[in-house]
Structure 1
């Protein structure tokens, strides 16, 4: 996998969890309300929302303090090793992550307190990180 370009998204993010049968949170009405990243996933076991900390629904179990990094895509579906090339250097530096994917790209969240080290590690691995 060749070097990637990542951007640090503005804002403080949270990963939140609601019951699997909970009503869907209201969609943000504007792009400004949604921020740079708003992702909702329902499985048989949970309803998960990744959003700015200020938009977490009441009653959710929350893990806050995340910063989001966007990998610049789009990436073809048959391209392999994209996330691995980002996650392995972070793993080796013992930086925990939360990853999610969209149709065009991937996002990696790291705790805000680890962002400076994460940026340094990713750059040392040959990636470009735009802040």
Structure 2
């Protein structure tokens, strides 16, 4: 099933980093102090995406990223959602780090390029709105 061509994206205010930990590392308490966080573990490494303010300086990290989430839930049968959203960013040399959750796709862009990414999507016909506040 093809994805709709236009999407609504939620822009999150928190500044995120991507931190690299050794394989098999426990999820550190500082990772969970973020409103947006993810842990991806493989046999070779553990990656944590979380608020930059929380990560100790000694931890290997990259970024300050701004997160955009595609308004979902997205049907698992949809194809081309990320490809369509990433193409205009690639054309503008905006790098990304992507994540997927059960309900949606997330696109993290360097914070200094977040406004540029937003403009790319608006030109494409997408809508970008502030992330909903959850209590």
TM-score, structure 2 normalization: 0.87
Deviation at 1:58, TM superposition (A): 6.0
> Does 1:8 pair with 2:11?
yes
Instruction: Report what 1:107 is aligned to.
Output: 106
Q: How does 1:1-131 map to 2 (within 5 A)?
A: 1-26=4-29, 28=32, 33-35=33-35, 37-57=36-56, 59-131=58-130
Unaligned runs of 5+ in 1: none
Deviation at 1:60, TM superposition (A): 2.3
Deviation above 4 Å: which 4+ runs of structure 1?
Answer: none
Compute the RMSD of aligned alpha carbons: 1.4
Q: Secondary structure at the match of 1:54?
A: helix
Contact 1:18/1:59 (<8 A) preserved: no
Contact 1:15/1:62 (<8 A) preserved: yes
TM-score, structure 1 normalization: 0.89
How many residue pairs end up in the alignment?
126
Q: Secondary structure at the match of 2:13?
A: coil
Range moving further from structure 2, 118-127 or 50-59: 50-59
Structure 1 CA distance, aligned partners of 2:11 and 2:123?
A: 16
